[in-house]
Chains A and B, each alone.
Chain A
Amino acid sequence: MAENPVVGAVFGDTFSSLERAMKIATLRQEVISQNIANANTKGYEALAFNEELMRAEKRIYHPKVAIEREMTELANNQVAYAAAVKLMSAELNKMRTIATQGRR
């Protein structure tokens, strides 16, 4: 998105930030799914989500899957994702308004 000069000029890096936020929430969702799917897997260590560490290709683990912790994460993640979608939708509306004002 940010590579598009028009979009970049109008929105700065808002779009790419939001896109990134959604990507991270998606990834976090995968980690939560994985931890819950493996809650009863012998020897499985729950993967803790940490963006910086993941980018450095390092992982930290909790020794055991705690369903409560994962469910809290899930709720947090849902809210974060919904917020990103709302903001993105607002940005798109802004763009739509700008694009259609010339008709008046």
Chain B
Amino acid sequence: MEQSRALAISADGIEAQRRVLELIASNIANMNTTRTIQGGPYRRKVAIVTEKPLIFSEILGSEENKLMEIGGGVRVADVIDDPTPLPKVYKPGHPDADVQGFVFLPNVSQAQEMTDLVSATKLSEANMTVFKATKQMLQSSMQLVQ
């Protein structure tokens, strides 16, 4: 089922972008969170996206039985906290202020999140376009048995 492999890869791409979107939602929702369950202010979450290698030679070669062990696609391998320093503001009345009256805020920048949002949405759409195209190809080959 080589065709559905292309479908699976595109589906993988959509899924990875959806997970990126979830993180963006979480980042924006927590833009002002100064106290988390782990303690300390919220840190921006970043997805580490990695490739699942695509092996192709088996189709052009002769070994049909190698078809089964094929990957291809993309996945979110890990979610890490953005290590950039947290901005510090002077707010003496704040419940999470330290003795000098400084509060550490999350290192989430709205502009950055919005840029990431557009990029993830567009990529998701691109993957959907490829998915639709592959599906159409698959359907057209069904005409052969009519």
Q: A41 contacts which of B10, B51, B72 (Cβ < 8 Å)?
A: B51
Residues 24-63 of A, flagged 1 when their CB comes within 8 A of B and 0 if not, give: 1111011111101111111010010001001101000000
Interface mask (B57-90 → A, CB under 8 Å = 1, otherwise 0): 1011100000000001110000000000000000
Cross-interface CB contact of B9 among A34, A78, A81, cutoff 8 Å: A34
Contact of B61 among A22, A25, A30, A55 (CB under 8 A): A55
Main secondary structure of the interface of A (DSSP, over half): helix
Quick check: A41 and B50 within 8 Å, CB to CB?
Answer: yes
Min CB distance A60 to B, Å, is: 13
Q: Which of B9, B49, B119, B144 contacts A33 (CB 8 A)?
A: B9
- A27 touches which one: B2, B51, B126 (CB < 8 A)? B2
| B3 pairs with A27, CB closer than 8 A | no
Query: Which residues of the partner chain B approach A29 to less than 8 Å between Cβ atoms?
Result: 3, 6, 130, 133-134, 137
Say how far A72's CB is from chain B's closest CB, in angstroms: 12
In the complex, the answer to whether B130 meets A36 with C-beta atoms within 8 Å is: yes
Q: Name which residue of chain A comes closest to B139, CB basis.
A: A85
Tell me the bound Cα distance from A26 to B37 in angstroms: 49
Q: Could you list 11 further interchain pairs (A-B, Cβ under 8 angstroms) beyond the known A34-B54, A42-B49? A: A23-B59, A27-B59, A29-B6, A30-B2, A30-B72, A41-B51, A42-B48, A71-B126, A82-B140, A85-B140, A85-B141
State the B residues within 8 Å of A (CB). Answer: 2-3, 5-7, 9-10, 12-13, 16-17, 20, 48-51, 54, 56-57, 59-61, 72-74, 119-120, 123, 126-127, 129-131, 133-134, 136-137, 140-141, 143-144
26 contacts between A and B (CB under 8 A): A26-B6, A26-B137, A27-B60, A29-B6, A30-B5, A30-B54, A31-B54, A31-B56, A33-B7, A33-B9, A33-B127, A33-B131, A34-B51, A34-B74, A36-B123, A38-B49, A39-B123, A39-B126, A41-B74, A70-B126, A71-B129, A74-B129, A74-B130, A74-B133, A78-B133, A78-B137
